[in-house]
């Protein structure tokens, strides 16, 4: 088990949903958390306040991580604030779901840039600092859709599958050091995105999940904690947290 108390983490897309749960879980175990957000400043500050009230340390940092320059600033702010970076959780993501014939160039590029190019941007900016840590962790939040595909989600599936390939390749490059690189592939998690699905469609999705329920954001967060704290010998892997929907 690695001591993570006092380590520093960036969680992109950390203001809500899975990202918020990850930030809170890490903070509860002594990690100083930088909650990155793009536009939802109130939500990000609410997460910071909740963490601080529980005795943790966090601050919110605005950056559109699909832009390489802003990703560099995010890392620079983290180093200026805490002097180190140990853990990077690439969680930022959007959807623009449409059948392929209806997908526009903007639909394609916005999803690829936000979900996949951001992983390159933040990792490129932060890797030098992460490799200095004795507990360096890069954790990419992919998706079951990147493994199995999804109707009307060619852009999202391509981005999430790309995250998996990125994870495996970088893990090989870094394997001789102490930095591990892994992906978590959530199934259908009970976040705002899933809650917006019509009830009849939600029922159809649940019927396909062997455990007959949606996952909770906190279950993904505990997966991140496991990889940070107990994952010294785990790298290049996909941790599937999906209720048995894809094996």
Give the angle 90-161-242 at the CA atoms, nearest 5°.
75
8-239: in CATH 1.10.1060.10: no
* Segments of the chain with pLDDT less than 70: none
Res 194: pLDDT: 85
Q: What is the DSSP pairing of strand 8-11 with strand 87-90? A: parallel
Q: Has this prediction a pTM greater than 0.95? A: yes
- Report the alpha-carbon distance of residue 69 to residue 51 in Å, rounded: 28
pLDDT tens-digit map of 118-149: 999 999 999 999 999 999 999 999 999 999 99
HEC-encoded secondary structure of 147-202? HHCCCCCHHHHHHHHHHHHHHHHHHHHHCCCCCEEEEEEECCECCHHHHCCCHHHH
Res 195: pLDDT: 87
HEC-encoded secondary structure of 122-159? HHHHHHHHHCCCCCCEEEEECCHHHHHCCCCCHHHHHH
Is residue 246 part of the annotated active site? The answer reads no
Q: Which of 37, 156, 233, 246 is catalytic?
A: 156
Whether the CB-CB separation of 183 and 164 falls below 8 Å is answered with yes
């Amino acid at each position: 088990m690695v001591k993570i108390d006092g380590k520093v983490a960036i969680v992109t897309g950390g203001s809500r949903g899975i990202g918020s749960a990850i930030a809170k879980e890490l903070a509860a175990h002594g990690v100083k958390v930088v909650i990155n957000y793009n536009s939802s400043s109130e939500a990000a500050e609410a997460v910071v306040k909740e963490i601080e009230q529980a005795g943790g340390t966090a601050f919110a940092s605005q950056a559109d991580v699909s832009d390489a320059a802003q990703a560099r600033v995010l890392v620079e702010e983290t180093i200026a604030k805490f002097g180190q970076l140990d853990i990077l959780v690439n969680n930022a993501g959007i959807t623009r779901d449409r059948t392929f014939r209806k997908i526009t160039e903007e639909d394609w590029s916005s999803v690829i840039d936000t979900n996949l190019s951001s992983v390159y941007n933040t990792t490129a900016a932060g890797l030098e600092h992460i490799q200095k840590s004795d507990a360096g962790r890069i954790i990419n939040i992919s998706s079951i859709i990147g493994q199995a595909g999804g109707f009307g989600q060619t852009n999202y599936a391509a981005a999430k599958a790309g995250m998996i390939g990125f994870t495996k390749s970088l893990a090989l490059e870094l394997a001789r050091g102490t930095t591990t690189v892994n992906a978590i592939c959530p199934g259908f998690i009970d976040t705002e995105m899933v809650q917006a699905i019509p009830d009849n469609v939600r029922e159809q999705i649940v019927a396909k999940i062997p455990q007959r329920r949606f996952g909770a954001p906190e279950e993904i967060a505990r997966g991140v904690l496991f990889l940070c704290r107990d994952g010294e010998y785990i790298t290049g892997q996909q941790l599937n947290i999906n209720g048995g929907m894809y094996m």
